[in-house]
């Protein structure tokens, strides 16, 4: 019944949201704006009439003055908000952590990594190997030790926590309350939202673009591909496409998509701003030295590592091996991974005449993998496959499909792309018969986090002033010249934000769209863990949006 209600509400509101996206191109949308207070109707709007009003104005002026002085210097402050944290070994835990470390490396930037804090009950659901934390300090210490073991410099970024709740249905951590409060107003400069759509689906609080001078979203996940697999997936995916477009447009100045495998979004650019763990590059340098001295650098054949679910390429790989097992008679493949489909994958592999062995999952940095020569990755569900980048960094030959998620890897000579089944067979046989090409210094640099940080800074256009939003070309005919102004476009965005805040502030609407119940404000346990004050009486939405 709950799912039926959700789909019904989603379908009905889908029409409203579609109309909203189209209406933002029409002056008639101005009618949705809340009336602005004027001196005639609201004398208090003309000047403060009480000591408390004067104090608020003085405090606001003081914050603005502090920000102006801070921003007049070249030193910038980056606040990186992400949707997951170690010890959950997922991309949005690891990559933002490396980004924070390398942005702060030179010491000319202040960086704060903002990660979710979960209650003890949620930690037990999310974190592996029964790892739990009793305090923020304990969790922070774990994160710092993990990154310090993988880089060759002392990280100098700060860590803060925002309240989060784990959604079993979405298998994701969702923010609770207004997470912009984690960063004081006087240092709010640049916000980096790792998975901006995820962070803003249910956002109800300060406007990111009002609090921060520049807001950059980094898209990690193709959520549309995931929801299409669910019941009523096409309907939900259609709605989600509009929702993602909506929230990223109104809350971000710039969007960086890691590859063309992600949803096209407004104000976006495609750029891989991720690097690899430096430990993998060290392996690559060792292999290069072995090749130069004539030693046997690679003594094993082919392998694949990844979460053992069919959608991660295992079905495609086993289908190809089954179809061409005669031509690939001498091939030996080791599969490493753990997941809900492990038993089925093992049974399918045992039916083949080839030497395909299935092993439990392991860390890709394990020395066990150093001597493999060929990494086979037929998956087309990733945005940018981290294990492919790691295999290239270790000097291996990587075989992958011609897909937008692999576009970045095509520049490396050890990346072998196939377009069809026949080409897969041919490139696999060639890879087994050849030695990998030695990695050049420039190729190693391109895979590093130093290069990824440079690409991020360029793609984010940090020093570029916020450009005037463009009016959609198809709507220009309906706009007189004098209406094509920044003021009009800003008014349309204000109305769009107002509507989103109104919907995200209703418990029934939030729950209908999948939010964890009662997450408008942190509960008593989260407030106690994070040292947060009890919530004050809720202000009128109109006044809240004006701050």
Q: What is the DSSP letter of 301?
A: E
Q: What CATH number does residue 177 fall under?
A: 3.40.50
CA quadruple 217, 219, 225, 228: dihedral, nearest 10:
-20
Q: Which residue in the block uniquely carries the two structure tokens 């340098």?
A: 285
Where the chain has pLDDT below 50, the residues are 1-5, 7-54, 56-58, 60-61, 64-65, 67-72, 466-479, 482-483, 540-547
Domain count, the chain: 2
CB atoms within 10 A of CB 196: 28
Q: Report residue 499 as tokens.
A: 């509507």
Q: Distance (Å, rounded) from C-alpha 27 to C-alpha 491?
A: 10
- My answer on whether 260 and 286 are in the same domain is no
> Quick one: 292 exposed, middle or buried, by C-beta within 10 A (0-12, 13-18, 19+)?
exposed
Closest listed residue to residue 369, CA positions, set 346, 335, 340? 335
Q: Which residues pair with 112 in a beta bridge?
A: 79, 158
Tell whether 537 is covered by a domain.
yes
pLDDT score of 222:
87
- My answer on whether 431 and 523 are in the same domain is no
3-state secondary structure of 435: coil
Tell whether 50 is covered by a domain.
no
Q: Report residue 241 as tokens.
A: 């496409």
- My answer on whether 167 and 200 are in the same domain is yes
CA quadruple 486, 490, 493, 495: dihedral, nearest 10:
-130
Chain centroid to Cα 404, Å, comes to 17
- My answer on whether 210 and 287 are in the same domain is no
Q: Are 250 and 210 within 8 A, CB to CB?
A: no
Please name the residues in contact with 210: beta carbons below 8 A apart, sequence gap of 6 or more: 547
CB atoms within 10 A of CB 121: 11
- My answer on whether 120 and 260 are in the same domain is yes
Chain centroid to Cα 283, Å, comes to 28
Q: Distance (Å, rounded) from C-alpha 510 to C-alpha 206?
A: 17
What DSSP string runs through 322-348? HHTTTTTTT-EEEEE--STTHHHHHHH
Tell whether 509 is covered by a domain.
yes
Tell whether 43 is covered by a domain.
no
Q: Are 62 and 54 within 8 A, CB to CB?
A: no
Q: How many CA atoms lie within 13 A of 366 on its CB side?
A: 10
Q: Distance (Å, rounded) from C-alpha 280 to C-alpha 365?
A: 7
Q: Report residue 410 as tokens.
A: 């095509």
pLDDT score of 464:
65
Q: Are 424 and 430 within 8 A, CB to CB?
A: no
- My answer on whether 183 and 298 are in the same domain is no
pLDDT score of 537:
56
Query: By residue range, what is the domain housing residue 345?
Result: 278-447
pLDDT score of 406:
95
Q: Which residues pair with 79 in a beta bridge?
A: 112, 191
Closest listed residue to residue 262, CA positions, set 225, 222, 229? 222
- My answer on whether 94 and 238 are in the same domain is yes
Q: Are 349 and 356 within 8 A, CB to CB?
A: yes
Q: Are 356 and 321 within 8 A, CB to CB?
A: yes
pLDDT score of 436:
94
- My answer on whether 459 and 388 are in the same domain is no
Tell whether 64 is covered by a domain.
no
Final residue of a domain: which of 447, 473, 500?
447
């Amino acid at each position: 019944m709950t799912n039926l209600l959700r789909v019904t509400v989603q379908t009905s509101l889908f029409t409203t949201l579609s109309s909203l996206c189209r209406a933002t191109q029409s002056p008639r949308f101005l009618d949705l704006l809340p009336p602005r207070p004027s001196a005639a109707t609201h004398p208090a709007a003309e000047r403060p009439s009480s000591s408390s009003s004067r104090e608020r104005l003085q405090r606001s002026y003081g914050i603005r003055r502090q920000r102006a002085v801070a921003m007049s210097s070249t030193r910038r402050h980056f606040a990186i908000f992400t949707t997951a944290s170690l010890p959950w070994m997922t991309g949005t835990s690891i990559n933002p952590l490396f980004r924070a470390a390398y942005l702060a490396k030179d010491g000319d930037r202040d960086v704060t990594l903002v990660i979710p804090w979960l209650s003890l009950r949620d930690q037990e659901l999310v974190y592996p190997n029964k790892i739990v934390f009793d305090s923020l300090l304990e969790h922070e210490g774990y994160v710092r030790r993990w990154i310090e073991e993988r880089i060759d410099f002392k990280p100098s970024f700060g860590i803060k926590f925002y309240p989060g709740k784990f959604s079993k249905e979405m298998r994701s951590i969702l923010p609770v309350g207004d997470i912009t409060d984690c960063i004081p107003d006087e240092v709010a400069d640049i916000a980096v939202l790792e998975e901006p759509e995820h962070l803003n689906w249910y956002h109800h609080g300060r406007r990111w673009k009002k609090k921060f001078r520049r807001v950059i979203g980094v898209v990690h996940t193709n959520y549309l591909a995931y929801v299409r697999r669910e019941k009523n997936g096409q309907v939900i995916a259609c709605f989600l496409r509009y929702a993602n477009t909506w929230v990223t447009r109104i809350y971000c100045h710039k969007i960086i998509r890691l590859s063309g495998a992600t949803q096209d979004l407004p104000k976006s650019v495609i750029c891989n701003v991720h690097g690899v763990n430096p430990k993998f590059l060290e392996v690559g340098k060792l292999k290069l030295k072995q090749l130069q001295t004539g030693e046997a650098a690679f003594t094993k054949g082919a392998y694949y590592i990844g979460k053992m679910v069919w959608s991660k390429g295992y079905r495609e790989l086993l289908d190809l091996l089954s179809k061409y097992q005669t031509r690939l008679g001498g091939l030996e493949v080791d599969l490493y991974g753990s997941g809900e489909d492990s038993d089925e994958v093992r049974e399918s592999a045992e039916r083949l005449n080839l030497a395909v062995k299935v092993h439990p999952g392991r860390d890709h940095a394990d020395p066990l993998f150093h001597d493999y020569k060929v990494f086979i990755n037929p998956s087309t569900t990733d945005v940018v496959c981290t294990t492919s980048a790691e295999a290239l960094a270790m000097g291996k030959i990587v075989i992958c499909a011609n897909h937008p998620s692999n576009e970045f890897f095509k520049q490396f000579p050890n990346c072998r792309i196939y377009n069809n089944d026949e080409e897969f067979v041919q490139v696999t046989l060639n890879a087994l018969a050849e030695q990998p090409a030695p990695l050049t210094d420039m190729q190693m640099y391109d895979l590093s986090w130093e290069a990824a940080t440079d690409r991020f800074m360029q793609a984010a256009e940090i020093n570029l002033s916020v450009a005037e939003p463009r009016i959609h070309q198809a709507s220009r005919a309906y706009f007189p010249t004098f209406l094509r102004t920044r003021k009009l476009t800003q008014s349309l965005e204000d109305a769009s934000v107002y509507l989103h805040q109104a919907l995200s502030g209703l418990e029934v609407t939030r729950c209908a769209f999948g939010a964890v119940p009662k997450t408008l404000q942190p509960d008593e346990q989260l407030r106690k863990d994070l040292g947060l004050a009890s919530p004050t009486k809720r202000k009128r939405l109109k006044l809240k949006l004006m701050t």
